[in-house]
Structure 1
């Protein structure tokens, strides 16, 4: 269902209303206060069929975010503008810009429960509050036509994210109790946080480890406790974020670099050719329809697990260590099946 605007030949989508409902409430509150009569939040709530709490929250938003000169007159028991000439700000958006705003709103819902949710939502709310009351949009659907879906993600402690972001800004070391899933052990570590990385919805910390001297990657989901230290640090001269991340295949960084060559067949070849799997990748298309993927990576184990996910449609050409890892894991799978 849509309301047709004959002059524009496009529709006002009901789906869009949820993105501008906040703005509508503010416009109506503005109209009630501007008429005079010192309306109270309860009287406005009755007329708009909203809760008193919603009206108060919107009035607070108008004051704080929009700079509205609204004051409550105790003697009149209602609100008024101390500067009657003040008007609500507005933004003119193109259809493409409006689509971008809708996609940002969808991204907020995709990050629900993460530390970024409140930040993104605040930005979107401020933008939406400044939109004009009537916006013509294409009838193809906007919000109904797009979805942003994250894969399975590991929950993190929002306070840890906040503390690490602060530590990075202030160049301060942290002490964390960290669970190493590979060794199945938990230990305290003092590290210098360099950067936070989001990979497929999961958050990781790149940090200089005081004990080892290396700069490994830590999963925020495995941080059991975190403390901000008074000690300040200087980022190592040999650390360059783009170079560092350029060697990572997925989430593991080592001081090593391995040039791998993997041949893919049938549907796997076509799927491999569709994507950029690594910044260093090179694809070679062979006459038999297969594709050879070459790339330089830091860790072979995670590449081995990835190769196994393609089953018989993937063949390791190099290096020998990667082939041994894949064959060893395949043999272990068969052995576990036989002993099952």
Structure 2
């Protein structure tokens, strides 16, 4: 018995990878997750093909997750609240802002984040006329800040790659952290966020060993091992929970700080917000008194020293003595 006759000039229909990937995306978005066996059956392909397709989606930037079930099967899905979006376009003004921001991140040199930035701007350059790219590059060079004591994170590349994956997919980690002049200690840790502070990277999250939020300087991380278990960031979590009332990042007991700045530097103090709850009073003669409640004596002193001889600590008495 002969098979179906195909019309002349019409090739046999093939299930292309592009069409198959579209179906995989549709299936994973329509439900909590799917196993490789389910995807293979619904797409009419082998398990090996499904594994290749999942890898292709991950390499294309889709935020895939793997969750092992009690019966040993693995569910593949997207990170919560992920939505497919249309290609993003930018105005020239928005692109200029992006180029300005890139110049502020020189301390990321040698990290996987710098690789990601380079890839992003390579795509932008490929979509713009050469003249526009050259103009944006000139503007960006004019906005590059000067850094002193720049940290070198190239030696932490492997650790940062693991952290990036754990942050993106919300994987619980085992980390080995070595505080200054103390033995390294292992923590079971839920990484919530990375903080950039004074050109340094800090990892913030929940330390199960301590039953509390903790901040770790990335420079002192010796090992990061993401596990298969996922966690959820509490809905009421705020970055301020990691730093408390600290002037910087060191959350000591808060103190009521009052500092007088002479007229020579008063304009510099008025131009910035130094603490969310600060009070600023202008005195006769154009000096200013800055008041706030904060912890972190060493960070406060380091900041005040930069204004000598135009600064006077008024209170508290212990800070005044130390400063003197």
TM-score if structure 2 supplies the norm length? 0.61
Where does residue 29 of structure 1 map in the other structure? none
Partner of 1:228: 226
Asked whether the 8 Å contact 2:193–2:203 carries over to 1, the reply is yes
Counterpart position of 2:173: 174
1:206 and 1:286 mapped to 2: Cα distance?
40
Using the TM superposition, give the Cα deviation of residue 130 of structure 1 relative to its aligned residue in structure 2, in angstroms: 0.9
Contact 2:108 2:114 in 1 (8 A): yes
Contact 1:167 1:173 in 2 (8 A): yes
| C-alpha distance in structure 1 between counterparts of 2:141 and 2:162, whole Å | 36
Q: Cα deviations across residues 149-177 of structure 1 (Å, max 9, x unaligned)?
A: 34423333122222223223333332222
Q: Which portions of structure 1, spanning 4 or more consecutive aligned residues, are displaced by more than 6 angstroms?
A: 136-139
- Deviation string 1:225-284 (CA, Å, 9 cap, x unpaired) is 222234444445663224545733222235x43332211224233322222222222211
**Paired position in structure 2 for 1:307:** 304
Q: Quote the residue 1:248 is aligned against.
A: 246
Residue 282 (str. 1) matches residue 279 (str. 2): yes
Query: Do 1:151 and 1:201's aligned partners in 2 also have CA atoms closer than 8 Å?
Result: no
- Distance in 1 between the 2:101 and 2:306 partners? 33
**Cα 1:299–1:214 shift into 2, 3 Å:** farther
**Mapped contact 1:205–1:220 kept (Cα < 8 A):** yes
The SS at the match of 2:162 is helix
2:157 equivalent to 1:158: yes
- Structure 1 distance, partners of 2:271, 2:187, is 41
In 2, the alpha carbon distance for the partners of 1:194 and 1:98 equals: 29
The answer to whether 1:209 aligns with 2:185 is no
- Is the Cα–Cα contact under 8 Å of residues 125 and 133 in structure 2 kept in the other structure? no
1:77-116 equivalences under 5 Å are: 94=92, 96-97=93-94, 99-100=96-97, 102-103=99-100, 106-107=103-104, 111-116=108-113
Partner of 1:147: 144
Aligned to 1:195: 193
Q: 1:105, CA displacement in angstroms?
A: 5.6
- With the length of structure 1 as denominator, give the TM-score of the two structures: 0.58
RMSD: 3.4
CA distance in 2, matches of 1:133, 1:237: 45
Quote the Cα distance in structure 2 between the aligned partners of 1:114 and 1:200: 17
| 1:293 match: secondary structure | strand
Shift of 1:108: 6.4
Q: Compared with structure 1, are the counterparts of its residues 228 and 99 closer, same or farther at alpha carbon in structure 2 (3 Å cutoff)?
A: closer
Q: Which runs of 5+ in 1 are unaligned?
A: 1-63, 66-90, 328-340
* Correspondence for 1:28: none
CA distance in 2, matches of 1:159, 1:326: 41
Structure 2 distance, partners of 1:195, 1:92, is 27
